[in-house]
Amino acid sequence: MLCFYFKMKNFVHLLIFLPSLIFSQEKNLAEKLGFNAEAKLLILNADDIGVANSVNEASFRAFESGSITSGSVMVPCPWFLEVVEYAKSNPKHNLGLHLTLTSEWKNYKWDGISSSSEIKSLINKQGHFYIGNEGVRLNATYEDVKRELRAQVNYSIENGLIPTHLDTHMGAVRVRPEIFQAYFEIGQEFNLPVVVSKDYKEEVLSKIFDKSKIDISQIIWVDKIYGKSNDSPINIKNWENFYYGVIDDIKPGFNILELHLGFENEELKAMMIDHPHWGAKWRELDLQIVESEKFKNYLKEKNIKLINWNQINKIKIPNDQ
């Protein structure tokens, strides 16, 4: 009996520690991609593609020069179909969707892919999306948001742009829990990764999900998402200080740097009038930074591993990455 007791005790201990043993042997994202476990992974992502010809041309050039590894496209915007043509001719480039619920420019507007009568809670009195997130927060319904997000993904696919991932313009999907829920549901519906920072992980897991609708294990958590804020004068010195500071700050794990590319030409200056932040000069400075050999060499010097969504989509990622 004593021998049996010790055998059973050892068996129980094995059951307790087996999950942690298996977990410890599970490869993380970096290892699954063929890098060292402590690799600093980075996606360089160009936002707002499709919003203007200037933004498109700058982003296309950055793809061709290897200055970015990903782009996010605004489906409801007037220059979306130009992006479709580019995507068809350049299938190797990673283009996801910058799911859009707002229309922020002063005299340059758009509404949804869905009929306005089908998404009334997303449309203002002028017939456009609201100018900012507050309009979405106060008026949008879960049903209308989900309908419009689904329409944007379907419209992209129907026109020949198969997205690599989903993210969100101005973070509008985060304004209320049930709207955030709709964002994840659309990602799961189309089997596409949605971009969400680990900063929101506790909120997502504790407050948002109807677990009957979402497979939480499929969420790809980004360790850190970097993006230039509007807290400094718009000049090359501040841009260099910020972006080289980002490279210095990057830790092992999965990181994204959000960029806004464009040319400071007449089209973009007219479109973005009275809007210096993320405006025409801002976007040309972003382009200057990422295209510079100095920036590219600094990434190599700091041993930053540039990756893209196609690589991520080919592997299965464990819950905690």
Q: What is the pLDDT of residues 237-252, one digit of tens each?
A: 999 999 999 999 999 9
pLDDT (tens digit per residue) in 133-176: 999 999 999 999 999 999 999 999 999 999 999 999 999 999 99
Residue 206 has a pLDDT of: 84
The answer to whether position 17 is within a domain reads no
Give whole-number Cα distances, 242 to 31, 55, 142, 300, in Å.
29, 21, 37, 18
With the C-alpha atoms ordered 305, 310, 311, 315, is the resulting torsion angle positive or negative? positive
Burial class, 68, CB count within 10 angstroms (exposed 0-12 / middle 13-18 / buried 19+): buried
CATH of the domain at 255: 3.20.20.370
Q: What angle do CA 289, 292, 296 make, to 5 degrees?
A: 100
Inform me whether the pLDDT recorded for 311 exceeds 60.
yes
Which residues, 6+ apart, have CB-to-CB distance to 199 below 8 Å?
none
The answer to whether position 8 is within a domain reads no
- For the record, the structure tokens of 124 come out as 């203002």
The answer to whether position 166 is within a domain reads yes
| Strand partners of residue 196 | 221
Inform me whether the pLDDT recorded for 82 exceeds 60.
yes
Segments forming the whole domain that contains residue 80: 30-313
Nearest to 32 by CA among 320, 224, 312: 312
Q: What angle do CA 164, 152, 103 make, to 5 degrees?
A: 110
The answer to whether position 299 is within a domain reads yes
The answer to whether position 101 is within a domain reads yes
Give the integer Cα–Cα distance in Å for 100 and 196: 16
| Helices assigned H by DSSP within the chain | 2-25, 29-32, 53-64, 80-89, 133-139, 142-159, 177-189, 201-203, 236-249, 266-271, 280-291, 293-301, 309-313
The answer to whether position 319 is within a domain reads no
Average pLDDT of span 196-220: 84
Q: How many domains does the chain have?
A: 1
Give whole-number Cα distances, 119 to 99, 101, 140, 209, in Å.
15, 11, 9, 23
The answer to whether position 15 is within a domain reads no
Nearest to 105 by CA among 228, 269, 266, 265: 269
Inform me whether the pLDDT recorded for 315 exceeds 70.
yes
The answer to whether position 176 is within a domain reads yes
Give the integer Cα–Cα distance in Å for 259 and 140: 28
Lowest pLDDT segment from 20-24, 197-201, 279-283, 290-294: 20-24
Burial letters for 117-145: b for 16+ Cβ neighbours within 10 Å, e otherwise? eebebbbeeeebbbbebebbeeebbbebb
